[in-house]
Structure 1
Amino acid sequence: MNSQSALGPGTPYPLGATLKSGGVNFALFSAHAEKVELCLFDQAEGGQETRIELPECTNQVWHGFIPGIQPGQLYGYRVYGPYAPDQGHRFNPHKLLLDPYAKAIGRPLKEWDASLFGYNLEDEALDLSFNDQDSSAHAPLGMVVDPHFDWDGDTPPETPWHRTIIYELHVKGFTQKLTSLPENLRGTYAGLASDEAMDYLKKLGVTAVELLPVHHHLDDSFLQERGLTNYWGYNTLSYFAFEPTYASTPDPHAAMHEFKGMVKRLHEAGIEVILDVVYNHTAESSERGPTLSFRGVDNASYYRLSQEHPRYYEDFTGCGNTLTMENPSGLRLLMDSLRYWVTEMHVDGFRFDLASALARELYGWNKLSSFFDAIGQDPVLSTVKLIAEPWDIGMGGYQVGNFPTGWAEWNGRYRDEVRRCWKGNDRANELSKRLSGSADLYNHSGRGPHASVNFITAHDGFCLRDLVTYNDKHNEANLEDSRDGANDNESWNCGHEGETEDPQIQALRLRQAKNLLATLFLSQGVPMMLAGDERWHTQQGNNNAYCQDNDISWLSWDLDATATEMVEFTRQLIALRQEQPVLARKNFLMGQALEEGQPKDVIWWNPEGREMNEADWDAGFTRCFGMWLPGSTLREIGRNHQPRTSDSVFVLMNAHFEDVNVTLPQADGAPWQLRLATTELKLDKRARKTPQLACPSRSLAVFISKRAAS
């Protein structure tokens, strides 16, 4: 149905559907379009479509004001222009398009249908053909929203980087099995905001949750054909709309309030909200993918196209396409989206998936790219937490340590070297660099140890239990014959591949897991742990559970004895880190005094009872050593630069397969007390300051020497 309602020219900004007095302003960017129709839909199933041609185009933005429109209105666009794939244009007005700036999804994609593709799937010419099937019965629709929410004085925690402890979790998987919640609240934003979940997070001691993608995403057609879903959500279709399936209600307005209420509740508990965001590619995939939004709105402006053959996409993500940050429209989309989530949804930061792809310009990755410049000068975004996954799959994409000031990075070097050292496959001098904050990677341009986000495991790869249990991936449930997922493990010499009832093997695995977890929280930098590692969760050897929306991914709240032990051990680690300032400094550990009259910031200790020297570091595989952090009054640690007195901390690590006799250093305060150990350890409790002990193989222990407050 075609009709023209009474309408005004409206304004070109802001982009999207903006509720105003008496109606709604609609604005859509398209540099190469010839005409744009706004399509309004009734709420009824298969509702009637009303098309309204947007009357104005200002600076490549098509816009119009439609009086009488109310919140809840469903809408999409039809965009007219050349269908010339060889020139990079894929306009097709037979395809109903989701507004790239839609704030809510009023109707998700119903099912994969041939009409959703701009070309004829059966045509021999593939994407060069033109499909005139109408997609409106199947395409996703946006919804006009009223953004009002009573934040009631919500205040972001603004936790300093050096006090930050990140907990990476999936909104659904975290509470899906929390049976104390009503069934409709499990696996939802409201479930994460529940008293039970809040109490757990607070007792654990984490200061930030890093949520796997909550932008609206699609389930890939090939997964649906296998009866699977894109559980992780790294297949974004909308960068402004939240994922509606994580809400306890189907009503988009109520769901938006639920998301905001979750953020507000977390803030009240002193916990920041960091979003894992996927601006590197979209769910429209390669040239053979569907035409759902960006491709049909302005393919050449939103995507990186091959300069030699614009029919094809430059793909640095392995997902078929890459959004362009070279074109102002792509960069504006990213910036507007980020600001929206900070200002309207009150989130505290972002982790950028495959962030290297966003900094690619004409000649490859560029530290001085417009992407970094735009964020660095932005008065809103430059003040929130920015975390990069500093790699993509393209040539020169591995950029660990090379991001600019203001950015933190997932430190892949940390993960790899800590794993190797505890396997006994690497020298301690490599581990000492990671324990010290990775100055070799980040000590430039004003960056500090907080630039290093340290992790042992993450959603991608083995979880902690599986890391010490399996030598090989077991991804059979993904129905790809285990060809998927990186081979990211080697033998941990724990005596058996896979689960076993042998108590000795179980004990050794648990000890190695504790060693890894303890190393994480005793290292300078920002620790990030994977939700479930502290509960001894297993994914049954699956190291790529992106499509497993089931018990493989969901966390159990019915904890057995081992899980309970791990939770308590993790709580102790976090509490230790928070109470001892020398474990979380603003400066790298450099083996020197920061201020005159103060001791060295770190002393590396030889088990023989002396400071390590160059010969020790170079003497083959040094697998047992100590990290002595002398106590001092640290002005750079406290909030508002108030001095805090720290006890002395001595961390003893033995990655060797044999016990090692160790003499501890001379305590500079009260006698050493055993604070924490990953296995049973006997310490002479007599009041002497240089105790000796046999450090068990593959173990870690922490000793404290109390100092009087100054």
Structure 2
Amino acid sequence: MKPRLLTGAGRADPRGATLSENGVNFSVYSEAASRIWVSLFDKDGTETGRFELDGRDGPVFFGFIAGIGVGARYGLRADGPYDPSLGLWFDPDKLLVDPYARRLDKGFALDPALAAPRGAGGDTAALVPKALVSRPEHAPARPLGKVPGLIYELNARGFTKLSRTLPARVRGRVTALTLKSIPTHFDALGVDAIELMPVAAWIDDLHLPARKLSNAWGYNPVTLLAPDPRLMPGGIADLRGLTDFYRARGVAVVLDVVFNHTGEGDAHGPVLSFRGLDAVSYYRHSRDEFGRLHLINDMGTGNALDCAHPEVQRLLLDAMRFFVEQGGASGFRFDLATALGRGPNGFSADAPLIAAIRADPLLSSCILIVEPWDVGPGGYQLGRFGPPFFEWNDRYRDDIRAFWRGDAGVDVLASRLAGSSDVFQRNGWRQSASINFLAAHDGFALRDLVSYAQKHNFANGENNRDGHGHNISWNCGAEGETDDPHVERRRLRDASALLATLFVSRGTPMIQQGDEFWRTQGGNNNAYAQDNSVTWIDWDRADTRLIDYVARLSAFRAAHPALAGLDFLTGENVDGVRDVVWLHPKQREFAEKDWQDASVQTLGMKLDIGGDELLVWFNRASRVVQAFSPLPRTGGSWTLGIASTQASGFGAEPGHVTLPARSVVVLVPEG
């Protein structure tokens, strides 16, 4: 049957391409367009038909094309006034990807013609991925619905690209995460949630091709629903296969989503979707005294999605539901999440989009994690999102690093160990909303944190100007790679102490891919453009000793309610029991004056929660320390539970414990 437009048969809802028995309904939003067409293509990319959407309901164009079905390839074209200075980029020669596209036939690639002025670049259909009409293939899934005990952040491409145990055809793809030794590795580590870095189809940043670099992480999306075919050639079905596999193992999959900007970039960027349909509605902007439009750049990427606009809110909420119901995702991590709550008067935790997520029965039952900052005015909003949002806690990251480097005292350490109530309790949380981490994709890898005092980002082509300069790192005696075994031992010792601190802290711990392998990025703390061995995990060089150590830390935490809970530690006496007692190494509890004593480098944390007692000592000093060891409340004596160092000569004799230099020692009641 030849495709044909059925006049008057379309409908405005839902948005995008909706399959029915006889054809497909198309619905597209644009406040400023005068005409919108759907272009159909064959598998070779030849345009086989162009149909103008004849229905109109305010800013919504719609129409029904009979005679097409699943797998039909299509794109959009829009006409209207052309004046980029006013935010109008209409050009029928620019093929546009439907904002509601659910599957694409190929990935995005930059080309100068995509940004050419109207009438100058020719038709772009050959350059732009085509959307594929699809139908829901799975019964709607529900979130796994549990707070994770350990989150593992990974990039599917970088994590699997060099794994020689995997078939070559799946390396670098999401499906690889279900094969061979990878699930076994997660089981050994006790991973409860995989935080999957962006999977939505992205494009390289404008400046990268000239440097012969490409975007390795995916934080530059063009579409918000369609998975990138380079990661998921099977579309959303590939994601559902992953989530179903791990759901059966009790592991949640949390998607890292970029709802703050798109890969269309600044005013000189490509016209691929939103810009060509309605830049004024989709992007935040200001106007000068002459009425000229200026894109707001609160993300440092050239544009910012207008999350205060109802149509943008609708799109983002629909994208989330799609990934949960059809993709099987159990949660989301929102990149630069301050953008979600930005309005005319700045950030609000009660902004319409955030309020809608909170009120939605399906979405509010997901694991919801925010990165609570962006680079715009008032962008730093740590601790202000409130329930049900967990938050990446950079205060935890920085303070724990600062303690072990020697820049912060035991008072700061205690605040982070106790759940960061100073950050979160003020906004309605009765438990810690802190996602605790030492390292993440942004910044140094764990090994580099103790191997480099300065960033080394020259490979990024910006003369080391990019990346954060405040890393709170140290090199243990030599900058970068070294053959000195003493330096290497010090690095592993310090990293082990950092990891032990992470696993005994209140909140939810997160580790990033490969840190347990003892991998390095060569001091690059902004490796987003290194789609190569810098970010690819080398499984053959994994340090099995550190893997085993992280696995033991994770298992120890999971086995002890005193560590695994989320309640803030307060030290209050409840029925004769205090959940935490802070101990000075000189046989006493910490007094008020002790907290400000910069000479104190050792802190004890005695936990007594739900019948589970632990005594944890942190020794930052570069020497052995004899510390006070009060008896367990239930009597008896202490024995070693786990320690960050295997140095000989320390034990838990009655009344004291010997702490090796720069170590964490955890004692448990004997018997």
Contact 1:155 1:267 in 2 (8 A): no
Contact 1:472 1:490 in 2 (8 A): no
Alignment of 1:182-221 (within 5 A): 182-221=167-206
Residue of 509, 519, 523 corresponding to 2:505: 523
Cross-structure match for 1:704: 668
Aligned partner of residue 312 in structure 1, secondary structure = strand
Shift of 1:567: 0.4
Aligned partner of residue 614 in structure 2, secondary structure = strand
State yes or no: 1:676 paired with 2:642.
Answer: yes
The separation in 1 between residues aligned to 2:203 and 2:504, in whole angstroms, is: 39
Q: Cα–Cα, structure 1 residues 444 and 579, in superposed 2: closer, same or farther, change >3 Å? A: same
Q: Cα–Cα, structure 1 residues 673 and 213, in superposed 2: closer, same or farther, change >3 Å? A: same
Q: Cα–Cα, structure 1 residues 258 and 156, in superposed 2: closer, same or farther, change >3 Å? A: same
Residue of 646, 649, 658 corresponding to 2:614: 649
Contact 1:428 1:621 in 2 (8 A): no
Alignment of 1:288-303 (within 5 A): 288-303=268-283
Shift of 1:366: 2.0
Contact 1:607 1:662 in 2 (8 A): yes
Cross-structure match for 2:59: 60
Shift of 1:42: 1.1
Letter matched to residue 113 of structure 1:
D
Letter matched to residue 447 of structure 1:
W
Letter matched to residue 585 of structure 1:
G
Letter matched to residue 29 of structure 1:
Y
State yes or no: 1:377 paired with 2:359.
Answer: yes
Letter matched to residue 625 of structure 1:
L
State yes or no: 1:20 paired with 2:20.
Answer: yes
Shift of 1:224: 2.2
Contact 1:608 1:663 in 2 (8 A): yes
Shift of 1:490: 4.6
Cross-structure match for 2:111: 113
Q: Deviations over 1:85-125 (max 9, x none)?
A: 3433222222111000000112433x4333312527xxxxx
Contact 1:461 1:488 in 2 (8 A): no
Cross-structure match for 1:659: 624
Cross-structure match for 1:620: 598
Cross-structure match for 2:208: 223
Contact 1:167 1:529 in 2 (8 A): yes
The separation in 2 between residues aligned to 1:143 and 1:155, in whole angstroms, is: 25
Aligned partner of residue 113 in structure 2, secondary structure = helix
Contact 1:667 1:690 in 2 (8 A): no
Q: Cα–Cα, structure 1 residues 212 and 167, in superposed 2: closer, same or farther, change >3 Å? A: same
Residue of 260, 263, 274 corresponding to 2:254: 274
Alignment of 1:460-479 (within 5 A): 460-479=442-461
Shift of 1:437: 0.3
Q: Cα–Cα, structure 1 residues 167 and 315, in superposed 2: closer, same or farther, change >3 Å? A: same
Letter matched to residue 12 of structure 2:
P
The separation in 1 between residues aligned to 2:486 and 2:293, in whole angstroms, is: 59
Q: Cα–Cα, structure 1 residues 182 and 509, in superposed 2: closer, same or farther, change >3 Å? A: same
CA RMSD, 1 decimal? 2.0
Alignment of 1:565-644 (within 5 A): 565-593=545-573, 595-597=574-576, 599-630=577-608, 632-633=609-610
Contact 1:8 1:66 in 2 (8 A): no
Aligned partner of residue 295 in structure 2, secondary structure = coil
Cross-structure match for 2:372: 390
Q: Deviations over 1:261-310 (max 9, x none)?
A: 11110111111011111111000011111111001111111001113354
State yes or no: 1:146 paired with 2:153.
Answer: no
The separation in 1 between residues aligned to 2:207 and 2:287, in whole angstroms, is: 30
Q: Deviations over 1:208-244 (max 9, x none)?
A: 0001101110123431232211001110000010111
Mean Cα deviation higher: 296-305 or 220-229:
220-229
Structure 2 runs not aligned, ≥5 long: none
The separation in 1 between residues aligned to 2:448 and 2:498, in whole angstroms, is: 13
Letter matched to residue 677 of structure 1:
A
Shift of 1:182: 1.0
Shift of 1:658: 2.7
The separation in 2 between residues aligned to 1:414 and 1:310, in whole angstroms, is: 43
Cross-structure match for 1:137: 126
Contact 1:56 1:64 in 2 (8 A): yes
Q: Deviations over 1:658-677 (max 9, x none)?
A: 32221211222442111111
State yes or no: 1:428 paired with 2:392.
Answer: no
Contact 1:272 1:348 in 2 (8 A): yes
Aligned partner of residue 444 in structure 1, secondary structure = helix
Contact 1:286 1:312 in 2 (8 A): no
Contact 1:606 1:612 in 2 (8 A): yes
- How many matched pairs? 667
Q: Deviations over 1:618-658 (max 9, x none)?
A: 2224221111102x43xxxxxxxxxxx42x11111011223
Mean Cα deviation higher: 652-661 or 209-218:
652-661
Shift of 1:696: 2.0
Cross-structure match for 1:172: 157
The separation in 1 between residues aligned to 2:144 and 2:654, in whole angstroms, is: 41
The separation in 2 between residues aligned to 1:280 and 1:609, in whole angstroms, is: 52
Mean Cα deviation higher: 453-462 or 298-307:
298-307
Cross-structure match for 1:636: none
Cross-structure match for 1:368: 350
Alignment of 1:50-129 (within 5 A): 50-109=49-108, 111-117=109-115, 119=117
Shift of 1:681: 4.7
Shift of 1:149: 3.4
Q: Cα–Cα, structure 1 residues 143 and 505, in superposed 2: closer, same or farther, change >3 Å? A: same
The separation in 1 between residues aligned to 2:365 and 2:599, in whole angstroms, is: 43
Aligned partner of residue 426 in structure 2, secondary structure = coil
Cross-structure match for 2:332: 350
The separation in 2 between residues aligned to 1:683 and 1:604, in whole angstroms, is: 25
Q: Cα–Cα, structure 1 residues 696 and 29, in superposed 2: closer, same or farther, change >3 Å? A: same
The separation in 1 between residues aligned to 2:649 and 2:561, in whole angstroms, is: 25
Contact 1:108 1:141 in 2 (8 A): no
Shift of 1:21: 1.1
Letter matched to residue 243 of structure 1:
D
TM-score scaled to structure 1, two decimals? 0.90
Cross-structure match for 1:259: 239
Shift of 1:441: 0.7
Q: Cα–Cα, structure 1 residues 185 and 436, in superposed 2: closer, same or farther, change >3 Å? A: same
Cross-structure match for 1:307: 287
The separation in 1 between residues aligned to 2:292 and 2:500, in whole angstroms, is: 51
Aligned partner of residue 245 in structure 1, secondary structure = coil
Letter matched to residue 66 of structure 1:
I
Contact 1:602 1:628 in 2 (8 A): yes
